[in-house]
A and B are shown apart, each in its own frame.
Chain A
Amino acid sequence: MIVSVFAMLPTAAPIASHRFAALLHVVHVAAALLSSVRHAALFVTSVLAVYLLQPATPIAHLDFWLPSASLLLVVVVWCATQPLRLEAMRETLVTAGLIAGLVLGIGALGITTQLCCVVTRMPPPNILVVAAAVAGGVLTCILVVIVFAGHPARTTWLVFALIALLVAVKLNWPISGADAPQAETASPAPPPTFATIQWLGFSYIAFRLIHALRERALGKLPVMSLREFMTYVVFFPAIIAGPIDRVERFLKDLRAPFIFNMSDLVEGGRRLLIGVFKKFVIADALAIIALNDALAVQTQPGLWAWVLLYAYAFRIFFDFSGYTDMAIGLGRLFGIKLPENFNRPYLKPNLTQFWNSWHMTLAQWFRTYYFNPLTRALRMRNIAPPLIIFVTQTTTMLLIGLWHGLTWNFALWGVWHALGLFMHSRWSEFARARFGAQDASKLQWVTHLGGVVLTFHFVAFGWVWFALSNVETSLTFFRRLFGMP
């Protein structure tokens, strides 16, 4: 009822009657209430999702501490970037209290054996330790407010701290025999193994926080409440695999009155179903035959190796874009229009266009906060343009590679694409000078098709570095692709 009457407002407004004015008031109150409920629901669900989606870790209680650290980082960055507003103090204290209450509540679940693992995978730590940590978090936030208030330039410290943390998370850490899961068996403690820290969504959280810090340093960060900022950073549909939204765009949707309409429901549901189909039907089926370390060695040279490679190329696309569709669809159901992350990347005729249509929000983030500033800085030093392009593209792609993990293979994947982008930019320059407008010939569709095939295969070869864990296995697989044993 509220929905349909509210939707009629533009046409009904001119009708001046007391009854309608009263009804209008009721509708406004109801819509505001609905928006408020929606916002509160998004906030609580997103905070809980940080814990619920965190995978189990081999180190005790880490599946509790990592999500808690995510929340603390969000609060710290908010404290460092937002002006002190006394008029909003009550709301801030309520939100902070709610966050602390949720953390303590999840920690308190450990007291009961029946409920201990309802939110976290393993029993949470002792509640007193959790309470002490919450108190420590509160003190940290107070300290941050004191240190950063009125000093936007100091936010750079936090950017570096987040980058350092991101690097630490991506490193392979030794897990001692006592910490390893096998220690639960009666067999002797195994030798230390190495693993990265499985911190759910941290790569995305860190990038959203750095985005906020840089915008603050540039004086472009909008004023927002802690609840809004927390919802933006840990927005549950986008926490696992993005997209990386811009905060001011996100706030626009979040603050807009929530009008539940059928088109959002249909479009959101459609994207959600498409995403589910792409991820759980196509990608998961392709995952069976997609390239991996074991298959790279076991497969016979020649045709079969190509089957595995193509399967991987399409698997990673359907997996990732399926997640994005689900995130966009879910967001739409809650009135948030998350940005697109893919635009038919495998149908692009060159690598530059591929990177404008693959993981678009990540590429945009790097363009904004690394590529463009570096390009500007190098131009001011009178360096030759081709060298600027080479340096900026190589380092950008290297960083994008390392963002996925600090391994030689991810670095090589980044360099592979950097070289491809550089070659394409040089070829474009050459072709423009040499052929000019001749490109618009009758054979344009042939060159377009050739470009699509060539670009797809360049990207697919790049996936060899991405999919496999080490250089030796990758080289073995490249040999198999070309029929060499």
Chain B
Amino acid sequence: MTLERHSVLRIVVKALVLFVALNVAFALVDFPANGGVAALGRLSLYNTLWPGRARLPYGDDPGRAYNLSLYSLEAMFASHELSRGAKPADEFRVLLIGDSSTWGWLLRNEDTLAGLINAMGLTTEDGRAVRAYNLGYPIMSLTKDLLLLSHAMRYQPDLIVWLVTLESFPADKQLDHPIVRHNAPAVRALIADYQLRADPNDSSFVNPSFLDGTFIGQRRALADWLRLQAYGALWGATGIDQYYPDTYEPAQRDLEADASFKGMAPPLLPEEALAFDVLDAGVRMAAEAGVPMLIVNEPILISQGRNSHIRYNFFYPRWAYDQYRELMRKHLHLATTPGDVYYLDAWDLVPQGEFTNSAVHLTPRGSTILVEQIVAVLRKQMLG
């Protein structure tokens, strides 16, 4: 009896010591610098056991979408087909950065911008095959785009296509998104490197403590990472990575008689209220790596319903959006210098019938219209 009790005590003590050691070791090896499971995140069953995902993981209904949102950029990129291996010599690598319209909300992978470009079987003058990768992420923030771009630069792009819209620009909303807040060190580095206006000590940043780095502290990130690996099997089995409802609420055509935009009233949209510094940082980042960039002002729904003389759509009052386009033009100096940065203002390219549940989400036909225009610019300026 005494012996048994002694054994139990020994087991309990040993278990406690091992538990503490494991937690400390985990915190030392895998401190949650960027979204948790930094080192572990690079380990992935994707591109080995399961096929790599065609777009970054995102979703709040994993049971139906076989996809989920997480904060670890390492884990996200490791699950993407971009991480399949070394870049083939005969590949002209195009990375598409942007919001949910680039990611392809309600679109099958073959109908996204990247999917459509790949289906065209383009080649460059020197015979390299154009291969587009979808790095869109359904969050409207240029800082989020910059964060993903900085991570994506290690994949040796030959061209970056950055799709933007006014909703991603408000300077005071740049850090309001979980993926930005949970990747504080990486975002702070961007702020420092590119002298961005965002406050590096912004209270919205999540600053993990040592305890947050332990096995227990990272349980959420670990669970997400494990679930991401598990859902890879279903992605491989079905090719499904988002839930497609049978019906959806179409984007609003009849609008409120409200001319304000993010608390700003007409007539003037101050340039400093928009995060052009982040846009500039992205341009610089690409230029420093010698990678050309095509910036696309993505198509928006131009509604013809009630109060459409005040607003173009749910997101944008006309005055604000028109001034934003002017500012974009002015800011990018209508840049068309080869090897530099190109700008395509596609704002009114897609007819209103080709939008789905939002003023920026396109139907497959709408995506095709935009891709044709993008490819036309690419052919003219870069592919020859």
Interface positions of A (Cβ within 8 A of B): 4, 7, 261-263, 265-266, 285, 288-289, 294-295, 298-300, 304-305, 307-308, 311
- 1/0 per position for B37-67, CB-CB distance to A under 8 A? 0000000000000000000000000101000
Smallest CB gap from A480: residue in B: B237
Residues of B within 8 A of A295 (CB): 234, 237-238
Query: Are A285 and B237 touching (Cβ within 8 A)?
Result: no
A to B CB contacts below 8 Å, 13 in the list: A261-B1, A266-B4, A288-B62, A288-B233, A288-B234, A289-B230, A289-B233, A295-B234, A298-B240, A299-B237, A304-B233, A308-B237, A311-B233
Q: Which residues of A contact B231 (CB under 8 A)?
A: 288-289
B1 touches A288 (CB 8 A): no
CA distance A298 to B4 in the complex (A): 54
**Could you tell me the distance between the alpha carbons of A307 and B240 in the complex, rounded to whole angstroms?**
16
Give the residues in chain A near B238, CB-CB below 8 Å.
Answer: 295, 298-300, 304
Interface of A is mostly: helix
For the complex of A and B, 6 pairs with smallest distance between CB atoms? A304-B237, A298-B238, A289-B233, A262-B4, A288-B230, A299-B237
Is B178 at the interface (CB under 8 A from chain A)?
no
- A294 contacts which chain B residues (CB < 8 A)? 64
B5 touches A (CB below 8 Å)? yes
Q: Do A262 and B234 have beta carbons less than 8 Å apart? A: no
Q: Which residues of A contact B5 (CB under 8 A)?
A: 262
List the B residue with the shortest CB-CB distance to A292. Answer: B63
Expressed in whole angstroms, the Cα–Cα distance for A261 and B5 within the complex equals 9
Query: Complex: how many Å from CA A7 to CA B230?
Result: 49
Can you list, as one digit per residue, whether each of B192-225 has a CB less than 8 Å from chain A (1) or not (0)? 0000000000000000000000000000000000
Least distance between A148 CB and chain B CB atoms (Å): 48
Give the docked Cα–Cα distance between A353 and B230 (Å).
33
Report the separation of the CA atoms of residues A304 and B235 in the bound assembly, to the nearest whole angstrom: 10
1/0 contact string of B1-31 vs chain A (CB within 8 Å): 1001100100000000000000000000000
Given contacts A299-B238, A305-B237, A308-B237, are A263 and B4 in contact (CB under 8 A)? yes
Given A265-B8, A294-B64, A300-B237, 6 more A-B residue pairs with CB atoms under 8 Å apart are A266-B8, A285-B230, A289-B234, A295-B234, A295-B237, A300-B238
Give the shortest distance, in Å, between A64 (CB) and chain B (any CB).
30
Residues of B within 8 A of A285 (CB): 226, 230
| B236 interface contact, C-beta 8 A | yes
Q: Which residues of A contact B237 (CB under 8 A)?
A: 289, 295, 298-300, 304-305, 307-308
Say yes or no for B239: interface residue by CB 8 A criterion: yes
Residues of B within 8 A of A308 (CB): 237
Determine the distance from Cα of A354 to Cα of B148 in the docked complex, in whole angstroms.
Answer: 53
B233 near A307: Cβ-Cβ < 8 Å? yes
Q: Given A304-B237, A307-B233, verify A7-B64 contact (CB < 8 Å).
A: no
Chain B residue contacts of A265, Cβ below 8 A: 8
Would you give the 0/1 interface string for B175-205, flagging 1 where the beta carbon is closer than 8 Å to chain A?
Answer: 0000000000000000000000000000000
A307 and B227 alpha carbons, distance in the complex (Å): 16
A55 to chain B, nearest CB (A): 18
State in angstroms the CA–CA spacing of A7 and B231 once bound together: 53
From residue 62 to 78 of chain B, which have CB atoms closer than 8 A to chain A? 62, 64
User: Cβ of B1 and Cβ of A262 under 8 Å apart?
Assistant: yes
Known: A298-B237, A305-B237. A288 touches B227 (CB 8 A): yes
Kindly state the separation between the CA atoms of A308 and B1 in the bound complex, as whole angstroms: 48
Docked-complex contact A262 and B230, CB < 8 angstroms: no
Residue of A nearest to B2 (CB): A4
Please name the residue on chain B nearest to A286 by beta carbon: B230
In the complex, what residues of A have CB within 8 A of residue B233's CB? 288-289, 304, 307, 311
A295 to B236, CA, bound (A): 12
Shortest beta-carbon distance from A468 to chain B in Å: 15
Q: Cα distance A298–B243 when bound, in Å? A: 12
Q: Which residue of A lies closest to B236 (CB)?
A: A304
Q: Decide: A4 near B8, CB < 8 A? Known: A294-B64, A308-B237.
A: no
B153 to chain A, nearest CB (A): 33
- C-alpha gap A380/B237 in the complex (Å): 54
CB-defined contacts of A304 to chain B, threshold 8 Å: 233, 236-238
Known contacts A262-B8, A289-B234: does B1 contact A300 (CB below 8 Å)?
A: no
Cα-based distance from A265 to B62 in the complex (angstroms): 39
Q: Chain A: which residue is nearest B4 at the CB level?
A: A262
Given known A-B contacts A266-B4, A289-B234, A300 and B239 have beta carbons under 8 A apart: yes
Q: How far is the CB of B219 from chain A (nearest CB, A)?
A: 13
Complex Cα gap A298–B242 (Å): 13
**Neighbouring B residues of A311 by C-beta, 8 Å:** 233
Interface centre among A7, A261, A300, A304 (most CB of B within 10 A): A304
In the assembled complex, the CB of A399 is this many whole angstroms from the nearest CB of chain B, namely 33
Complex CA distance for A311 and B226, rounded to whole angstroms = 16
Whose C-beta in chain B lies nearest to the C-beta of A311?
A: B233
A288 to B50, CA, bound (A): 15
How far is A308 from B231 in the complex, measured between Cα atoms in Å? 12
Inter-chain CA distance A400–B110, complex, in Å, is 47
Q: How far is the CA of A134 from the CA of B192 in the complex (A)?
A: 73
Bound-state Cα–Cα, A321 to B4, Å = 28
User: For the complex, what is the distance from the CA of A254 to the CA of B5, rounded to whole Å?
Assistant: 25
Nearest residue (CB) in A for B6 is A262
CB of A367 to closest CB in B, whole Å? 38
CB nearest to A269 among chain B residues: B8
Give A477 Cβ to nearest chain B Cβ, in Å. Answer: 12
Q: Which of A7, A289, A305, A307 contacts B1 (CB 8 A)?
A: A7
**Complex Cα gap A295–B63 (Å):** 11
Chain B, 236-250, CB within 8 A of any chain A CB: 236-240
A311–B232 Cα distance when bound, in Å, is 14
Q: How far does the alpha carbon of A7 sit from the alpha carbon of B240 in the complex, in Å?
A: 62
Residues of A near B236 (CB, < 8 A) are 304
Q: State in angstroms the CA–CA spacing of A265 and B8 once bound together.
A: 10
B328 to chain A, nearest CB (A): 42
**A289 CA to B230 CA, complexed, in Å:** 7
B309 to A: closest C-beta gap in Å: 33
Counting chain B CB atoms within 10 Å of each CB, the highest count among A4, A288, A295, A311 belongs to A288
Contacts of B227 on A, CB cut-off 8 Å?
288
Query: Which residues of A are found within 8 Å of B226, using beta-carbon distances?
Result: 285
- Residues of B within 8 Å of A307, CB to CB, are 233, 237
Measured in the bound complex, the distance between the Cα atoms of B226 and A294 in whole Å is 22
Cα–Cα distance between A4 and B2 once the two chains are bound (Å): 9
| A15 and B184 alpha carbons, distance in the complex (Å) | 73
A305–B237 Cα gap in the complex (Å)? Answer: 7
Complex Cα–Cα for A295 and B240 (A): 10
Would you call A4 and B1 a contact (CB within 8 A)? yes
Task: Report A-chain residues with C-beta under 8 Å of the C-beta of B234.
Answer: 288-289, 295
Q: How far is the CB of A117 from chain B (nearest CB, A)?
A: 26
Q: How far is the CA of A300 from the CA of B234 in the complex (A)?
A: 10
| Closest Cβ–Cβ distance, residue A483 to chain B (whole Å) | 14
Chain B residues with CB below 8 A from A299, complex form: 237-238
